[in-house]
Chains A and B, each alone.
Chain A
Amino acid sequence: KQEVTQIPAALSVPEGENLVLNCSFTDSAIYNLQWFRQDPGKGLTSLLLIQSSQREQTSGRLNASLDKSSGRSTLYIAASQPGDSATYLCAAGDGGTSYGKLTFGQGTILTVHP
Chain B
Amino acid sequence: SAVISQKPSRDICQRGTSLTIQCQVDSQVTMMFWYRQQPGQSLTLIATANQGSEATYESGFVIDKFPISRPNLTFSTLTVSNMSPEDSSIYLCSAGLRPSGTEAFFGQGTRLTVV
CA distance A99 to B107 in the complex (A): 18
On whether the beta carbons of B111 and A41 are closer than 8 Å, the reply is yes
What are the interface flags for B24-44 relative to A under an 8 Å C-beta threshold, 1 for contact and 0 otherwise?
000000010100000001111
CA distance A105 to B45 in the complex (A): 12
Which residues from chain B contact A99 at a C-beta distance below 8 Å?
31, 96, 99-100, 102
On whether the beta carbons of B43 and A100 are closer than 8 Å, the reply is no
Interface residue tally of chain A, by bracket? Answer: 20 to 34
Which residues from chain A contact B90 at a C-beta distance below 8 Å?
41
CA distance A17 to B41 in the complex (A): 27
- Interface size of B in residues (CB-CB distance below 8 Å): 26
Write the nearest CB–CB distance from A114 to chain B, whole angstroms: 26
Q: Does B60 contact A (CB under 8 A)?
A: no
Within 8 A of B (CB), among A85-112: 89, 91, 93, 98-107
Write the nearest CB–CB distance from A108 to chain B, whole angstroms: 11
Write the nearest CB–CB distance from B58 to chain A, whole angstroms: 9
Residues of chain B having any CB pair with chain A under 8 Å = 6, 31, 33, 41-45, 48, 90, 92, 94-96, 99-109, 111
On whether the beta carbons of A49 and B109 are closer than 8 Å, the reply is no
Query: Apart from A49-B103, A99-B100, A101-B45, what are 8 other A-B pairs with CB-CB below 8 Å?
Result: A34-B104, A43-B6, A44-B92, A49-B101, A99-B99, A100-B48, A102-B94, A103-B45
Residue of B nearest to A98 (CB): B48
Also in contact, A42 and B109, with CB within 8 A (given A100-B33, A104-B43, A106-B41): yes
* Interface of A (DSSP majority class): strand
Choice from B6, B42, B104 contacting A100 with Cβ under 8 Å = B104
On whether the beta carbons of A44 and B41 are closer than 8 Å, the reply is no
On whether the beta carbons of B111 and A100 are closer than 8 Å, the reply is no
Residue of B nearest to A44 (CB): B106
Q: Does A46 contact B (CB under 8 A)?
A: yes
Choice from A42, A46, A105, A107 contacting B104 with Cβ under 8 Å = A46
On whether the beta carbons of A102 and B111 are closer than 8 Å, the reply is no
Residue of A nearest to B32 (CB): A100
On whether the beta carbons of A46 and B43 are closer than 8 Å, the reply is no
